[in-house]
Chain A
């Protein structure tokens, strides 16, 4: 898993479809995401963006088509397998562990760090406490990167909305992903906060060697952040390309401005 078969893109979607009863939420979507890029996903409400993330994170199976991660099919793998292969996500409607502290939310996700032996935990051995301390430091460092270190001991459920969005990112980052799927990370933030988040995402990509796929309704922000974008409309991929190409695409303008939506 650690040596990606050379040549294969990091992530490849081949003819992905998903239907819910009579509703075709995604139809035959194909595109690739290359390692290291920031990839934007836009589209009107109900276009199928979140559904696509659910497929990419193993939460929902595709009705047809296949998803390939570093050249290998992800078919039938559970969400926890997806995560351990290096795909992490955040949730549009915030799914933090609200009963746990901010720090614990991040600690739980640090599963790639060696955890030490169960017997050490049982007897609270010095080695166990040292290990706990190291893990805490790591978690605090991640919280610090997201500007949440001073809230570490608070209950996650009690945070302000924007802070909860950032904690979602910190928690996903703690799983040490190669690909991070962000579902409307700036929702509910004011323009200034959005701007700051944008800068932060670019920094995080550098520091953690991430590939990012970002869903966001605020299109100008995404145009500025992303190298490439995909546009979904009624479950179909209607455009794919650089921000300039997307801006000039008549079908995109139609989807966003035209029609009787």
Chain B
């Protein structure tokens, strides 16, 4: 039922879920992930379709694009983050939605990004979906490992403290601005490199890839999966990306069911599927 193609999409969903999760772990509701995803995807599309486009591209070139995308999105996040992270709660969410719109409209109207139709014939580093599964799977494993280490580190703990009580964190000498900005930049870089992989996998890229809907679906990944551990958004991203495809046999009703999951998920699992209590129980099973 789950073929390799769907598996790649699920993994990409999990990566985007992690990108939304990182600022949230520091108490910041940022919906900017699609903007950085779009920047990464557009960068990859532009770079790899220069000159007479070959149909294949070396893995080294893709890794180079990912590095560039990480650098570009980090710079952008630093620039935007300083003013925007002064805002709290819903105001931060709204201003990051504005960022998503600005990036979308810019990509739509720039002279070299292909307008509404976008960029086609993006070369592929792998000829089979399996290649993408392994590649994006490795990326997810790396991102998960980094998050795991983050949660054991002082930075991760500071993020949790800010999420609990920002004012008290400041009064305990924590550099709250620096911590929040770091989480925001990490989130942007992750979205950027995910965009690069997605652009090659999809073979085509346009402004719609980084729209407001993506902000909402990726937020749903974190809300359903839970935001108390990095595993939550990963599980949420995998499940909610697979769900619409798995529900395809029921036709248009699947969209209703998908909506119900997002709507009722928080009602029945207010902390998400992956809760601290669950993790503790799992931890105790370990040898």
Per-position 1/0 for B161-176, Cβ under 8 A of A? 1011101111111111
CB-defined contacts of A172 to chain B, threshold 8 Å: 172
B174 cross-chain contacts in A, Cβ below 8 A: 80, 108, 111
Q: Which of A104, A109, A122, A124 contacts B173 (CB 8 A)?
A: A109
- Residue in B146, B157, B167, B173 whose CB lies within 8 Å of A100: B157
The smallest C-beta distance from A244 to any residue of chain B, in angstroms, reads 34
Which of chain B's residues 239-280 have a Cβ closer than 8 Å to chain A?
none
Task: Please tell me if B152 contacts chain A, counting CB pairs below 8 Å.
Answer: yes
The answer to whether A115 and B154 have CB atoms under 8 Å apart is yes
Interface positions, chain B 33-83, Cβ under 8 Å from A, are none
**Most chain B Cβ neighbours within 10 Å, of A83, A107, A172:** A83
B161's partner among A82, A97, A174 (CB-CB below 8 A) is A97
User: Of A80, A88, A97, A111, which one neighbours B176 at CB under 8 angstroms?
Assistant: A80
State how many residues of chain B have any CB contact under 8 Å with chain A.
23
Is the beta-carbon distance between B164 and A98 smaller than 8 angstroms? yes
**Bound Cα distance from A9 to B167, whole angstroms:** 28
| Pair A100/B164 contact, Cβ less than 8 Å | yes
Contacts of A255 in B (CB 8 A): none
- A99 with B171: CB separation less than 8 A: no
**In the complex, B93 has a CB within 8 A of chain A:** no
A104 to B163, CA, bound (A): 14
Instruction: Give the distance in Å from the alpha carbon of A146 to the alpha carbon of B160 in the complex.
Output: 24
Tell me the smallest distance from the CB of A117 to a CB of chain B, in Å: 11
Q: Say yes or no: A95 contacts B167, CB within 8 Å.
A: yes
Known contacts A79-B167, A95-B165, A122-B149; A109 and B154 CB within 8 A of each other: no
**B168 contacts across to A, CB distance below 8 A:** 91, 95-97
Q: Is the CB of A59 within 8 A of B171?
A: yes
Expressed in whole angstroms, the Cα–Cα distance for A86 and B164 within the complex equals 23
0 or 1 for each of A75-108: is its CB under 8 Å from B? (1 = yes): 0001110111000110100011111100010011
26 A–B contacts from the bound complex (CB under 8 Å): A78-B170, A79-B167, A80-B170, A80-B171, A80-B175, A83-B173, A84-B173, A91-B168, A91-B171, A95-B168, A96-B164, A97-B165, A97-B169, A99-B160, A99-B164, A100-B161, A108-B161, A108-B172, A109-B173, A111-B172, A121-B153, A122-B153, A124-B149, A171-B172, A172-B172, A174-B172
Chain A residues within CB distance 8 Å of chain B: 57, 59, 78-80, 82-84, 88-89, 91, 95-100, 104, 107-109, 111-112, 115, 118, 121-124, 171-172, 174-175
Which 5 pairs from chain A and chain B are nearest by CB?
A83-B173, A95-B168, A79-B170, A97-B164, A121-B153
